[in-house]
Structure 1
Amino acid sequence: MSLCLAALVGGFTACHDDYDLDDPGNYPSWLGQSIYDELKNPNPEHLTGTFTNYLRLIDDLGYTETLEKTGSKTVFPANDEAFARFFANNDWGVKKYEDLSEAQKKLLLYNSMLDNAILVEMMSNVPDQNTSVTAGVAMKHQTGVNVIDTITHFYGASELPRNNEYWTKFYKSGVDLVMDATRPMMVHFTAEQLTANNITTMGANSDFAVVTGTEYNDSINTAYIFRNRIISPDITCKNGYIHQMENLIVPPGNLAEMLRTNGETNIFSRMLDRFSAPFYSAPLTNTYNDWAIVNGVALKDSIFEKRYFSNRSQGGLILKVDPNNKTLSTDELLPFDPGWNQYYPDRVTSSLSDVAAMFVPTDSAMKQYFLPGGSGSFLIDQFGKKPNTVANLMENIDSIPKNIVQAFVSMLMKPQFVATVPSKFDNVMDDSQDPLGITLNDLNRTKDGKYDVKIANNGVAYMTNKVFAPNRYVAVSAPALLTDNMRVMNWGIQDQSVLGLNYYAYLLAMDANYAFFIPTDEAFDFYYVDPVYLRRSPRVLHFYYRSDKSPYMFCSQFDYNPSTGTIGRDSVQLSSSAYRSQFIDILNTHTVILKAGEKLGSNHYYKTKNGGAIYVSGGEKGCVVASGAQIDGININGSEMRPENLKYTPKITKVYNQKNGTSYAIDRVIQMPMKSVYATLASESNFSEFYNLCSEDRVQLGLFAGISNKTSNTQPIAPIRQFTTFIDAGGFHGLDQDVSYFSGYNYTVYAPDNKAIKIAHEEKGLPTWDDVKAVAQPWLNATTGEYEPDETEACKLAQAKVYAMIETISDFIRYHFQDNSVYADNHVEGGTYYTANTDTLGIAAKLTVRDGSNGEFKVHDESGQSVTVSANNGTKVNLMTRDYVFNNTAVNATQLLSSSFAVVHEISTALNTHASGRYDDLWSSAKAKRKLIGHQKAGLKRLARMYRK
């Protein structure tokens, strides 16, 4: 093969030709000798010094003939002076060439060689699908290293990872191992690549200077391999290129190996190795043995590769199945495999375009963090098995559960180096997606005063002089992460695959103030009543966690009798799809967002993330926490529990003061309301008249008044819906009937007591349904039960009057349904709220809440009335309700889609929007016929506008 001419003129980054130029007469005059001959007889105009040591590498490894003849190779040799500097100071312990082992020779030669011909100015180019190239993209190239040359025999606990069951079986026998089965990469920095990625190069603290330890030299064709400058680029030979290096290229290994062997990050490396395992490699074993047979070397039974469980490993694939074919949980996976030689981030232009980055605390920083007095000493106090001393530190860190170590390590692993250079430190995020806060002052310094930054073949490691701990250690979710009896909730918080929430990220908002209730694993042993199944085959769910068996989180269902509270014996194991929506609801139910500086306990009622509410008796250990399904055990004034219900009500068992709020361990799962507004109004005798007013079937009367109950393509919701309070479960998928005005929000329902409704009817002109029917009675067909209007003037007037009466009743009802749940509590946040009552322009009537404290508040309506809601006078207030929306009819539903929460308050005076204080302004017989008919027409037009697409 010959050097590809296209590479010389800038067409491609590399090439292989299919024709020979072995005949000297075929050589162009501008071609030099072969690579080998150029190094043997260096032209001082091109190369500096002699290359005796590099040539010895070539000769000793049998590569002379290859580099003497034609081909497509690129080599990055160093001269004898560079070798002398290496022998004077290196980590391998070699003092002269003769000290080098064959394996070390191979690493030095093959890591300085590419298997294609490439100019320096083309190193950052990558070809695209159109056979052209994109400049400034590539940051690395695959070296000439053969993976079988890196096989090493490791033996004993001193050489293999500790506290890792996958490795212990090899302590006695040892293991033949490669650190990764993919070929190592050569990381390089070119002017095009630096410019394209906004990596600064000017000055002592430029990105380039900090990372490489050298100020950038911008002379023509200058490039750097790792942190090593090319001093003589593009020496053109008949079989490739020579790029002379300033110093010898010493392969750094991948990130995992570099951290294991550099001597200053032993603690972090030990934590990282908790996620590694040896995987048998049949291809590597077979390849080695084929080579061994030819070369007369002893065969090997099994060769393994060291890999790290991660969300991104070889080929960009997840590695979550261990060598024993066990599937690991998500909190046992690193963000990426730090040992993958050819690592590249997801969604990049090319697999050559970037490497990883890590912010790694030095051993000194780790000791300061974990030892007594350090902010991480609580981890040793909680999990360590020995006194917290320097001598015991490694073993104590080994005792920290793996999922907690994963949170620590993962936050310091970043997928893209180009996004983490020092000029972009402000954009480096922590695990809550807030700025990590790292500065140059946080980087460790080497003995020569340079920033301690190490470049591996798959990433860059910034050595830090302090520990940046994850917010997961201090957020309200931390107790679930750090406590071994909250594994069920921790699974829900951390899970990203089953629930699809990333709830951990939500709870990591450091500017929030949460009250987060965490049922212990034992709390789930008392079961969770599944609201989705209450209308089919009622069941309870038992969530539990098993660390010894995948998928770790399990859920069983048991038959349940709601009337007696008894639970069946036989259980059925459920798949995650059968409980996903229910567990999401549990997470939302147990999360309260407080105001800045607010503490739980100043009030009794708090809204939850899903729009519901909970009752708490206080914010300390022993206090009660409950919601609607458990609230029946609480007296009206909310101060005492009925003894027979006390054992079923959650209580706070421990309080954790965290950075973004307070966490509360509780001994039962909070159960949201399982009664709808419909069921609540129907079950309270004080609300019977209001319930009857709301629940009347208005279809036939509506049809008589000209209100359609039909839908069409242009009118997907029947106009009669505007006048309907409750929608049957058969269509709306609730437990019984849902409020038609609700749309997945939280609301307040002011329910006038029977006396208030009577006054509204008898004294203020609110029509009853009997009144409405009486107007339409002359046109009722007794046989069919349907109204049959005619074209007479009397009928038209009756129709208009019925329409006005229906609208009057509907507006009356709607005015008692308010957006936002407001509870009668110690402190009531006042405000003006919209109601479900709208005028002809669709503008909602309002209510104003104020003067709230000590368990009561006042509601001011648009007629000027002030109506008191009080928890202190024996009325029914603060009744929690929930209108459910399932994925099917109530008897076929399996999932909770959404819901609307409402609090119901009994009031002794009905609310009114009319300044007159009466309700008959629109329909009284004293009003003119023309006004009635005009109002009806205007109303029908309004309905048409509301329901037209």
Structure 2
Amino acid sequence: MVTACSKKTWDEFYNVPDNLSKPIYAELQAKGTFTQLLSVIDKAGYKNTLSSAGYWTFFAPNDSAFKAYFAANNTSVEKMDSSKARALIQFMLVYNAFNKNTIDDYQSSTGWVPDQAFRRRTAYYTGFYDDTMQNGTVVKTIQSNRNTGYITGDNNNKYIPCFTDIYFGGKGLTAADYNYFYPNTSYAGFNIAEAKVINQDLNAQNGVIHEIDRVLTPLPSIEEYLRSKPEYSEFRKLFDKYMVSFVLNSEATNRYKLLTGDSKQVYVKVYNTSLAFSPNSENFLKLQDNDAQQSSWTMFVPKNEVLLDYEKNVLLEYYQSFDNTPTSIILDFLNAHMWQTPVWPSQFKAAINFVGEEARFDPRADIIDRRILSNGMFYGTSKVQDANVFSTVYSRAYLDPKFSIMIRLLNTDLRYIITNPKAKFTLFMMPDAVLRAAGYNYDVNSNLFTYTSGSTTVSGESVRQTLLRILNSSVVSENLTSLAGAGITETYNGEFIKWNNMQVMSAGTQDASVAVNVDSTRTTKNGTVYYLNGLLTYSSWLFGKHIMNLGGTSVASDFYYFSQFLNNSGLYNATTGEITGTTSGTLYTVFVPSNAAIKKAVMDGVLPGNVTTGVPNLTASTWTAAEKDRVANFILYHILAKYSLIPNGKESGSFETLLKNGLGEVIPVTVISQPGSMLVNDVTGRAANVVVPQSNNLSNRTIIHLIDNYLKYSK
């Protein structure tokens, strides 16, 4: 009697109460509408798992869903093998229990973040499979599970997409985004891939069940989808041939042998780490364990005929095949089609790819295939992503091996500037042959630029800086569509070049009396490229020497009187060309008063000479101390510091000169620039016009103008 009583009490205390939820398997049995699913669970060998302790989310297709699935695939439970059944169950089985309110929460390492997730890790993974190495050998392979390689113990589980109204609202998405991928399913505010959740939050002892109206099969990864689609084989070939390594892995080999008894060696398929992502990795960046819940990859893939045409006319214009191109070209092309973020169809223009560019596709006109896959979004396209490095002025050097030295220079200084498609540029090309003829080269062994003169070769930073200055003088921040006629323009480093009927002149070529001719031109998305037969070198002379050269030896030159005052002023070093008060590397503008203007200054008592005739006294030995000061101040007041200005209408305002007052304050002038004319006003209100036909003289970081009046200062 006591024993019987004790057993009853024991059972009442420890037995599961009748009103407590049963395990997932039993709950499905009790519903009576999941008979086909239960049969598939049995065949998959998952009855025990779903009847035991655990913490799962199970997306459960009802009998109607299986009826449709069997009819569409001409199959049945009886025809289905255990591996197929297991794949179905594992893919619809998600780790951890999530109801509708929590299934879109991101499980961050610092805590749950509400409404930021749209993907969940499933129990399904691909495992070992056969793949083909570059030499044609078929090997047993396992996918990389990181962007940079493989971590033992991570099965690279696939993810299933989950779409909720709260997540969509927070991301600015609508039903149109969902139906773009799933046109045959209505968006209900709680969808799992192409299925609708028709009965949510069915609690079970070991998790949560969500009843869905479709059977969901394992989604392929981006790599697996590419491998199954011959229409994208040319794009996939770029990965397989140039971006993939098969790395022998002893731990994976041992595991394979343990599971199968087969002693085949197993290789990990690893992608180049410079790619935006590994298309076979299911784990997103893995900066946190669950970061794949809230983000995924995206890849846009052009169909074969489109890609082959682009390769022929753009990427391989100067190469026989990709075997000969720099790897960077292939990387840039592929990365331009890869995003480290989900790209929704309504947000193409806002989504930035791995090379910093938006998706340049029309979701209605340019997309021929769209998929949400296990590790990201996939768009098949009827055009290529028009990447900046292949369509701007930069491309003409990047894609042509005859400009290998120039492209190295551009990559260290100007690449991200001149690849901006919204800005306009003119690029004057620097061929390897011309650079080498001038003594310049690049040593790939030392990774240094070199300069050879005679039997002496130097290398290092000084050579690089010399070449960069030449390069910067070959880039103009506007699009010069024609070099017919004559003109002058500012280059990227603030110096100037001139042209006259397809001949281009820099200060250096002017010094050397060298004519640099335009051989041909190309038009790009953001400007014009001119192919030259020489270099736009800079002048090694300081601008004082150029003033002296302009002055000549007689009044036949309108620069003569000013040059002579400079020569005798004590400011000028005839050996070096340096003018006291100037600094190497600084930009300058010199306003040289004409001979007539100098004579007016003499008559006004500003400069020494005959006040009646205006003939200047150029003999310094006869000047008084006061006259010497006036000459020096006069010269300094006609030199602008920190700016090189031409009459192009771009820069006007107050500019400092080299002259300072007794308090050390700069005495300025005011410049009013217009296209084709320039007016200079001094502090006393006097005005001088730039005599354009005799102005725009090039010098070392300096421009020299002739003006029709002198500038008067007040100290």
TM over 0.5, shorter chain: yes
Matches within 5 A, 1:539-688: 541-543=440-442, 554-558=447-451, 566-570=453-457, 574=460, 581=465, 584-594=468-478, 598-619=481-502, 623=503, 625-634=504-513, 646=514, 650-678=516-544, 680-681=546-547, 687-688=563-564
Query: Unaligned regions of 5+ residues in structure 2, if any?
Result: 1-10, 146-155, 553-559, 609-616
Instruction: Kindly state the Cα deviation for residue 251 of structure 1 after the two structures are TM-superposed.
Output: 1.9
Matches within 5 A, 1:494-893: 495=411, 499=412, 501=413, 503-527=414-438, 541-543=440-442, 554-558=447-451, 566-570=453-457, 574=460, 581=465, 584-594=468-478, 598-619=481-502, 623=503, 625-634=504-513, 646=514, 650-678=516-544, 680-681=546-547, 687-693=563-569, 695=571, 740=581, 746-751=587-592, 760=601, 764-766=605-607, 774=625, 809-810=632-633, 813-817=636-640, 821=644, 834-837=654-657, 844-847=668-671, 852=676, 862-864=685-687, 868=691, 870-871=693-694, 878-882=696-700
Distance, in Å, in 1 between the alignment partners of 2:40 and 2:214 is 12
Distance, in Å, in 1 between the alignment partners of 2:205 and 2:177 is 37
Distance, in Å, in 2 between the alignment partners of 1:459 and 1:484 is 36
Whichever residue aligns with residue 766 of structure 1, its letter is: L
CA, structure 1 residues 689+844, in 2 after alignment: closer, same or farther (shift >3 Å)? closer
Whichever residue aligns with residue 337 of structure 2, its letter is: L
1:50 aligns to what SS in structure 2? helix
Distance, in Å, in 2 between the alignment partners of 1:253 and 1:492 is 43
Task: Please list the CA deviations of residues 643-669 of structure 1 after superposition, one character each: whole Å capped at 9, or x if unmatched.
Answer: xxx5xx654343212233221233444
Distance, in Å, in 2 between the alignment partners of 1:764 and 1:469 is 66
Whichever residue aligns with residue 50 of structure 2, its letter is: L
Over the aligned positions, Cα root-mean-square deviation in angstroms equals: 4.5
Whichever residue aligns with residue 519 of structure 1, its letter is: M
Distance, in Å, in 1 between the alignment partners of 2:690 and 2:521 is 39
Aligned residue for 1:912? 711
Distance, in Å, in 2 between the alignment partners of 1:864 and 1:444 is 63
Corresponding residue to 1:903 among 693, 703, 709: 703
Contact 1:259 1:266 in 2 (8 A): yes
CA, structure 1 residues 744+429, in 2 after alignment: closer, same or farther (shift >3 Å)? farther
CA, structure 1 residues 287+409, in 2 after alignment: closer, same or farther (shift >3 Å)? closer
Instruction: Kindly state the Cα deviation for residue 349 of structure 1 after the two structures are TM-superposed.
Output: 11
Distance, in Å, in 2 between the alignment partners of 1:241 and 1:608 is 67
CA, structure 1 residues 667+292, in 2 after alignment: closer, same or farther (shift >3 Å)? same
Contact 1:344 1:354 in 2 (8 A): no
CA, structure 1 residues 180+23, in 2 after alignment: closer, same or farther (shift >3 Å)? farther
Distance, in Å, in 2 between the alignment partners of 1:509 and 1:130 is 38
Task: Please list the CA deviations of residues 579-603 of structure 1 after superposition, one character each: whole Å capped at 9, or x if unmatched.
Answer: 66555444422211336x7422332
Contact 1:819 1:833 in 2 (8 A): no
Task: Please list the CA deviations of residues 617-675 of structure 1 after superposition, one character each: whole Å capped at 9, or x if unmatched.
Answer: 433xxx4x4422332133xxxxxxxxxxx5xx654343212233221233444322222
Instruction: Kindly state the Cα deviation for residue 422 of structure 1 after the two structures are TM-superposed.
Output: 2.7
Corresponding residue to 1:266 among 233, 238, 244: 233
Aligned residue for 1:456? 373
Distance, in Å, in 1 between the alignment partners of 2:630 and 2:293 is 70
Aligned residue for 1:484? 401
CA, structure 1 residues 342+258, in 2 after alignment: closer, same or farther (shift >3 Å)? same
Contact 1:235 1:242 in 2 (8 A): yes
Distance, in Å, in 1 between the alignment partners of 2:59 and 2:508 is 74
Contact 1:49 1:81 in 2 (8 A): no
CA, structure 1 residues 100+51, in 2 after alignment: closer, same or farther (shift >3 Å)? closer
CA, structure 1 residues 196+830, in 2 after alignment: closer, same or farther (shift >3 Å)? closer
Aligned residue for 1:139? 118
Corresponding residue to 2:254 among 266, 279, 289: 289
Contact 1:73 1:239 in 2 (8 A): yes
Matches within 5 A, 1:125-274: 125-127=105-107, 131=111, 133-145=112-124, 150-154=127-131, 160=132, 167-169=133-135, 171=136, 173-181=137-145, 182-201=156-175, 206-214=176-184, 216-218=186-188, 223-274=190-241
Whichever residue aligns with residue 153 of structure 1, its letter is: D
Contact 2:607 2:630 in 1 (8 A): no
Corresponding residue to 1:341 among 272, 275, 282: 282
Query: Unaligned regions of 5+ residues in structure 1, if any?
Result: 1-21, 155-159, 161-166, 310-318, 320-332, 386-395, 446-451, 529-540, 560-565, 635-645, 697-725, 727-734, 776-801, 872-876, 883-900, 915-921, 923-938, 940-949
CA, structure 1 residues 280+400, in 2 after alignment: closer, same or farther (shift >3 Å)? closer
Whichever residue aligns with residue 541 of structure 2, its letter is: K
Distance, in Å, in 2 between the alignment partners of 1:850 and 1:296 is 82
1:488 aligns to what SS in structure 2? helix
2:317 aligns to what SS in structure 1? helix
Contact 1:845 1:913 in 2 (8 A): no
* Identical columns (%): 19
Whichever residue aligns with residue 233 of structure 2, its letter is: N
Whichever residue aligns with residue 127 of structure 2, its letter is: T
Instruction: Kindly state the Cα deviation for residue 25 of structure 1 after the two structures are TM-superposed.
Output: 2.2
Task: Please list the CA deviations of residues 26-51 of structure 1 after superposition, one character each: whole Å capped at 9, or x if unmatched.
Answer: 64655322233334x2424xx54532
Contact 1:75 1:241 in 2 (8 A): yes
Distance, in Å, in 2 between the alignment partners of 1:27 and 1:653 is 90
Contact 1:212 1:453 in 2 (8 A): no
1:51 aligns with 2:30: no
Instruction: Kindly state the Cα deviation for residue 477 of structure 1 after the two structures are TM-superposed.
Output: 2.0
Aligned residue for 1:34? 23
Contact 2:427 2:528 in 1 (8 A): yes
Distance, in Å, in 2 between the alignment partners of 1:115 and 1:430 is 31
CA, structure 1 residues 524+833, in 2 after alignment: closer, same or farther (shift >3 Å)? same
Whichever residue aligns with residue 338 of structure 1, its letter is: P
Whichever residue aligns with residue 42 of structure 2, its letter is: R
Distance, in Å, in 1 between the alignment partners of 2:506 and 2:354 is 32
1:188 aligns to what SS in structure 2? strand
CA, structure 1 residues 598+291, in 2 after alignment: closer, same or farther (shift >3 Å)? closer
Distance, in Å, in 2 between the alignment partners of 1:520 and 1:233 is 68
Distance, in Å, in 2 between the alignment partners of 1:399 and 1:246 is 53
Distance, in Å, in 1 between the alignment partners of 2:355 and 2:482 is 23
Distance, in Å, in 1 between the alignment partners of 2:329 and 2:675 is 48
Contact 2:144 2:281 in 1 (8 A): yes
Aligned residue for 2:340? 415
Task: Please list the CA deviations of residues 737-771 of structure 1 after superposition, one character each: whole Å capped at 9, or x if unmatched.
Answer: 68757897744212458997687457623379989
Distance, in Å, in 2 between the alignment partners of 1:174 and 1:665 is 48
How many residues matched? 667
Distance, in Å, in 1 between the alignment partners of 2:180 and 2:702 is 59
Aligned residue for 2:611? none
CA, structure 1 residues 842+820, in 2 after alignment: closer, same or farther (shift >3 Å)? closer
1:367 aligns with 2:302: no
Distance, in Å, in 1 between the alignment partners of 2:434 and 2:691 is 39
Aligned residue for 2:53? 70
Whichever residue aligns with residue 304 of structure 1, its letter is: Y
Distance, in Å, in 2 between the alignment partners of 1:485 and 1:807 is 56
Contact 1:527 1:542 in 2 (8 A): no
Distance, in Å, in 2 between the alignment partners of 1:195 and 1:265 is 34
1:599 aligns to what SS in structure 2? coil
Matches within 5 A, 1:110-129: 110-127=90-107
Task: Please list the CA deviations of residues 447-499 of structure 1 after superposition, one character each: whole Å capped at 9, or x if unmatched.
Answer: xxxxx420112211233344443344332222223322223333444x4xxx3
CA, structure 1 residues 209+348, in 2 after alignment: closer, same or farther (shift >3 Å)? farther
CA, structure 1 residues 118+369, in 2 after alignment: closer, same or farther (shift >3 Å)? closer
Contact 2:118 2:163 in 1 (8 A): yes
Distance, in Å, in 2 between the alignment partners of 1:299 and 1:738 is 82
CA, structure 1 residues 601+235, in 2 after alignment: closer, same or farther (shift >3 Å)? same
